[in-house]
Copies of this chain bind each other. A is one copy, B any other.
Amino acid sequence: MQGLPERFLQYIYKENLFNKKNKLLLAVSGGVDSVVLCKLCHICGFNFGIAHCNFQLRGEESDRDEAFVKELAERLQRPFYSVRFDTKAFAAEHKYATQEAARILRYDWFEKVRAENDYDFIVTAHHADDNIETVLMNFFRGTGIRGVSGMKPRNGKILRPLLFAKRKDLEDFQQAEGLSFVQDNSNLSNDYTRNFFRNTILPLIAQKYPEVQDNLLDNIERFKEAEILYQHAIAQYRKKLLQQNGEDIYIPVLLLQKTPAVQTILLELLRPYDFKPAQLPDILGLLYSESGKYVLSSTHRILRDRKHLILSRLQEVSSSPVVIEQPGNYVFANGTLSVKHTDATAIPTDPKVACIDASAIQFPLLLRPWRTGDYFYPLGMPKKKKLSRFFIDNKLSMADKEKVWVVEMNKKIIWVVGYRIDDRFKIKKQTTSVLRLEWK
């Protein structure tokens, strides 16, 4: 077996992580792992600075760790950066678990220090055992292929050049080199679970499968490649199924249904639009629902149209026109418009319902926000009137006016939705077939 520094360099080379020209910002807690990382980078002549977070979760011990890392940086004559977080307050304020809060604070701050001081990369001391434990936690908490393929040695600006090494390798090196260190902060609940897998579960399983550690590392390698192939397949479906149409994206329902793994493909296609796995049942429901049903994410709406799922940004949803190609339900910014044929020729009294002479109608109709310059023939009036005038006559507020939509056909307004139909389309004596529009 080669020495740790040689294996370190080989791994960096093999994974093409960094070289001596790069400026590295090392994330150092002061524990064995990060102290060994410092030593290795020092021995190998890399150009690095040291960053330490004091989460102030363990009183004096936290301060002791900070002082220790500061001293280490001075001894190695490296730039030192540190910060103190009120982790508890941040967690409480944003309703995060403490572990999650610490993670967010840590990486945000590292990135800030990196960018401000012209470092190329943030380098962490995660090792093979960390990777195994992370995969186990993901696995039992429930995960897809991403969660079992482990941490990657390169993830954006964050590099993990110790993933090749087992905890024992690092401890042996620390002892052989006589490196001093502090005990890692272990009172985060994530660390409790981690320790549980490390100290309880894995030793038990090793009684049945003595090679369990190596087996899990092999798995990670295999799943990593499997994930690449999986992403490759997803990329092809993305290309095939997402059709840009103006500002919207159309997904053909039949084509989607024919794919061999509808749920997974749909989830992956919609992931960039902030839809969550928990919404999947609702979204799958759209495949079998009538037109007009939709599901919202924080940024997007996915709407069932006749042959497509239509994906729109919410800011565009608020004013994007809707084409009405046939009777059915159509979602627009103010709700749903239901369009159907009926024989009932009674004149409705509800302003949210419009009954018009079907023989005067040719699809498609267009449902859109009103705009300056629009005019129509208000029911019962022989002359055309500008909508702006009509609104004044009807004493609409500015806010109300902004929300008005119209239904038009061939540039003629049929209905000012919720207010008045156009006289040209009204039910006449000879009318036998009625088109009923209802705003819900």
Contact = CB atoms under 8 A, between A and B. Distances in A.
A139 B263 CA distance: 24
A201 B206 CA distance: 12
Interface string A193-214: 1001000110011001101101
Interface stretch (A71-79, A142-150, A157-165, A287-295): A142-150
A264 B216 CA distance: 16
A89 interface: no
Interface in A196-241: 196, 200-201, 204-205, 208-209, 211-212, 214-216, 218-219, 221-223, 225-226, 228-230, 232-234
Given A141-B215, A145-B223, A215-B141, A264 B229 contact: yes
A265 B226 CA distance: 9
A212 B225 CA distance: 26
How many copies are assembled?
2
B229 A265 contact: yes
Nearest to A148: B148
Nearest to A149: B145
A223 B200 CA distance: 27
Contact of A141 (B141, B193, B209, B228): B209
B140 A208 contact: yes
Interface in A158-209: 193, 196, 200-201, 204-205, 208-209
A205 B140 CA distance: 8
Interface of A: 139-145, 148, 193, 196, 200-201, 204-205, 208-209, 211-212, 214-216, 218-219, 221-223, 225-226, 228-230, 232-234, 260-261, 263-265
13 contacts: A139-B219, A140-B212, A141-B215, A142-B211, A142-B215, A142-B218, A145-B226, A196-B208, A228-B261, A229-B230, A229-B234, A229-B260, A229-B264
